[in-house]
């Protein structure tokens, strides 16, 4: 089981169903010992858990919750691809994006 899932359980978190891939979209691809995770959102299987723009539809706290759910969705997809999260040694990088009402024009600069 590795360290990730017990750590999530200790925080009262659990993995959702892995993201259901539309068409030929691959949520995770493994190449030369590295797993590349494609764009995810806050999903449980095919069901979106949160939708909307922070500042219009969502509060800042709800935006943080959506980010947490997105990370859990990414871990679920990684577990499906690897069979277990135990081999996961480190997170090399995590591309980020957000949808906010007040930063829509500058979000790339803000997240860099």
Give the predicted TM-score (pTM) of the model: 0.79
Per-residue pLDDT for 104 more than 60?
Answer: no
Say how many domains are in the chain: 1
**Structure confidence at residue 98 (pLDDT):** 62
Per-residue pLDDT for 18 more than 80?
Answer: yes
For residues 12-19, give the mean pLDDT: 93
Task: List the structure tokens of 14.
Answer: 């659990």
Domain span at residue 51?
A: 4-111
Query: How many angstroms separate the CA atoms of 47 and 72, rounded?
Result: 14
10 — pLDDT class (breaks 50, 70, 90): very high
Q: What are the Cα distances from residue 28, in Å, to 39, 76, 105, 107?
A: 9, 10, 29, 25
Query: How many angstroms separate the CA atoms of 82 and 34, rounded?
Result: 11
**Mean pLDDT across the chain, nearest whole number?**
82
Asked if 62 and 70 count as a contact pair (C-beta separation under 8 A), the reply is: no
Q: How buried is 69 (Cβ within 10 angstroms: 0-12 exposed, 13-18 middle, 19+ buried)?
A: buried
The residue among 104 and 28 whose pLDDT is bigger is 28
Domain at 51, CATH number: 3.30.1330.40
Asked if 62 and 54 count as a contact pair (C-beta separation under 8 A), the reply is: yes
Per-residue pLDDT for 108 more than 50?
Answer: no
Per-residue pLDDT for 19 more than 60?
Answer: yes
For residues 58-72, give the mean pLDDT: 91
């Amino acid at each position: 089981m590795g360290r990730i899932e017990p750590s999530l359980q200790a925080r009262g978190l659990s993995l959702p169903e892995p993201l259901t891939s539309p068409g030929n979209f691959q949520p995770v691809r493994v190449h030369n010992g590295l797993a590349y995770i494609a764009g995810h959102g806050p999903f449980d299987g095919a069901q979106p858990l949160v939708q909307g723009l922070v500042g219009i539809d969502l509060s800042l706290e709800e935006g943080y919750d959506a980010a947490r759910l997105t990370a859990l969705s990414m871990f679920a997809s990684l577990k499906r691809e690897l069979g277990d999260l135990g081999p996961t040694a480190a997170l090399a990088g995590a591309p980020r994006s957000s949808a906010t009402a007040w930063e829509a024009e500058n979000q790339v600069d803000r997240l860099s």
